Structure 1
């Protein structure tokens, strides 16, 4: 492959184009099967990755969906504002904005509406015709915002595991996903019954014995429960068993958690690499009302996930206030997170009338047992978008494109193209 790096200056607030600007980075990928001259004639495909707060994928080579897409497209991989090589937003840079309130106000410009406005500004700068966009997970949420506010920039839209709920409070999202995660726990412990006792043993141990991760932060029961992120994987789910199998080691003071285990857990529970995920996560469901730590509220209806029960279940993507007490990368931003949770005037992220009337071809993969983006809410959204083609499958989980991205991409592109034939 050949790559080209692009840096774009865009308004912090697109409603004030003459005001402050930030940098947004994107990397272009082109297959060497195309000459440089041929590549200039290829249409663009913009990939919108999961998140919020995740930088664009770094391809070591063209494989999976990237290999499939590069046959016919120039791929643009965006570092969404605040991530990667774009102007960063983290514990180091945010205090430069001033007070906690100033920092929170700054972050109100880091949701899907601003990401879409960045993308349209970039498309115009590149001189690109309406382009194809491919949204995975949160990238699909952004794609729906794109369809709502800038459909003129779109040729076709492909979405995997990312049909966001268009209305309603964040609470109903977590009511649905807590149930999905509980079912996935049951399925997993059915495969590995010995791991049920290992999880219980680790939880008991952490209540009785302080353990510290390699970054010096505490490993609590609630942080340990975050290893449930493995449950959202298709083949990756078995990695949870490999993590748990060497959790303990013998020491002169009795059994302790092994360095191998603690190092792996550190990588799973820290948000040092993507602080915006924790800061902005519930805001992606905010539509005119405060989210107010919705996952924590809904947890009260699902006591099987509480860290103080004898056999706690492992958790999914939920974000809780204690993240900002126990993670060194987030602790300085604790007050900022609280202000964002209290914000009760979030702008709408979707235009229901425009979605109901869109003429842009849209094809989406909906994963039946997805623990992050609920199947029922996804199908509700699909019915609200004119002409949206759904492929529902139980063969994959949320990270399906990591397992068979080439086939999934090809299927969705074919569905979208067939819609316009």
Structure 2
């Protein structure tokens, strides 16, 4: 077992073989990786475990550089496992390179159908049993003694919170408590419901950005007009079209995203031999924001995370693209014709992404297979959630661009033993940027101190 030491922490590697399809335990296997993090000097203490479920889908757990961010309060109380969800990080990878070994788009899509929250939760359960053994006692206790033996705590950020609700639906006996940050999903909201609510939220973020930086109205329109005539080649081989440029709006969902977008726009141009042109530094920075080379599953599986047969037996069918026409403020040609400022889009995945991003092009037909897939299994058990006894504390961000406030609050009403903290002090990245404040509050809530 590999052991690393960084300022204030000791890290250990854990790998576990799990079934690709948990309903076929003797079938194909995957490797899932977890990084154990414990405070330096406490390695031998009997600490309760906290497993961290990252946002996404398709994103690896953070790589700690020491004891910082939310790990500061977490390591006061827990031994942490940073889980690389299947297909990400040091777990068996799933990307254009590895998926090509599986056959054609249909075979690749069938493989990736096993990469949603239900499979991630069952992977986590196998990890729990591997590290802690079987649970005993009541699931309602958040104590650390005999009643909590074999159980662990879960911290779910964003999509990780979706996974936490699936965990409470499928295996609450493994949990002593749950923390959710910006990730209470709608229990019966399909992909269309998600995006129908999302476009107005993104529009409000655009309006707030332009109110803060009014000079960006002209800057964005100038870049869009240039790209409409001459799409730009990005350093990594991608193509920057007007629609791809609009996708930079994903930045507006974080606390520092609006000023970061402003600084990006104000440094877009240089003067070359033929006159003004988009600067190499601008194109390099844009590529960093738009490329899915490190997170291809985010694009391929994004709409599938909302699919449940009890909600909609049909296919997701590129719901974000289908609904976009209902929100004309996002029409770039309308903006360029004088119909208003150019609105950036948000956490939406469109079919054209699989043409403009080299990391996604080989997966275009696979993504289409998944978009056309029907009869996705349910992820949440509403009856079991209503009867839940595991303590749950959830931070709900009032101005969250990625997760709908109304959907989250409706879910909070339907899950037993769940307490919410609704705040507009932080955006979706509050867990990461609050210097531990968000997690400290949730810990106190679950301990009855607030």
TM-score by length of 2: 0.91
SS in structure 2 opposite 1:30?
strand
Bigger drift between 345-354 and 220-229 goes to 220-229
1:383 aligned residue? 413
SS in structure 2 opposite 1:159?
strand
Q: CA deviation at 1:33?
A: 4.0
Contact 1:275 1:329 in 2 (8 A): yes
Deviation by residue 1:268-302 (Cα, 9 ceiling, x = unmatched)? 11100000000000001101131110101110111
Extract structure 1 runs of 4+ deviating beyond 2 A: 306-309
How far apart are the structure 2 equivalents of 1:241 and 1:42?
45
Among 41, 51, 54, which residue is 1:46 paired with? 51
How far apart are the structure 1 equivalents of 2:174 and 2:212?
46
Q: How does 1:149-164 map to 2 (within 5 A)?
A: 149-164=170-185
Q: CA deviation at 1:229?
A: 1.7
SS in structure 2 opposite 1:255?
strand
Q: How does 1:1-400 map to 2 (within 5 A)?
A: 1-34=9-42, 36-38=43-45, 41-128=46-133, 129-288=150-309, 289=313, 290-309=315-334, 310=336, 311-400=341-430
Q: CA deviation at 1:417?
A: 1.8
Contact 1:175 1:298 in 2 (8 A): yes
What do you get for the CA RMSD once the two structures are aligned? 1.2
Q: CA deviation at 1:306?
A: 2.4
Contact 1:235 1:403 in 2 (8 A): no
How far apart are the structure 1 equivalents of 2:329 and 2:175?
44
Q: CA deviation at 1:234?
A: 1.1
How far apart are the structure 2 equivalents of 1:134 and 1:369?
21
Q: CA deviation at 1:254?
A: 1.4
SS in structure 2 opposite 1:418?
coil
How far apart are the structure 2 equivalents of 1:50 and 1:237?
21
Contact 2:217 2:342 in 1 (8 A): no
Deviation by residue 1:212-242 (Cα, 9 ceiling, x = unmatched)? 1101221101111111122101134311111
Deviation by residue 1:82-109 (Cα, 9 ceiling, x = unmatched)? 0011001110111211121111000010
SS in structure 2 opposite 1:4?
strand
SS in structure 2 opposite 1:412?
helix
Q: CA deviation at 1:46?
A: 0.3
Q: CA deviation at 1:410?
A: 0.8
Q: CA deviation at 1:64?
A: 1.7
How far apart are the structure 1 equivalents of 2:284 and 2:79?
38
SS in structure 2 opposite 1:81?
coil
SS in structure 1 opposite 2:394?
strand
Contact 1:226 1:268 in 2 (8 A): no
Q: CA deviation at 1:405?
A: 4.3
Bigger drift between 307-316 and 110-119 goes to 307-316
How far apart are the structure 2 equivalents of 1:169 and 1:266?
31
How far apart are the structure 1 equivalents of 2:227 and 2:41?
54
How far apart are the structure 2 equivalents of 1:189 and 1:2?
45
Q: CA deviation at 1:159?
A: 0.3
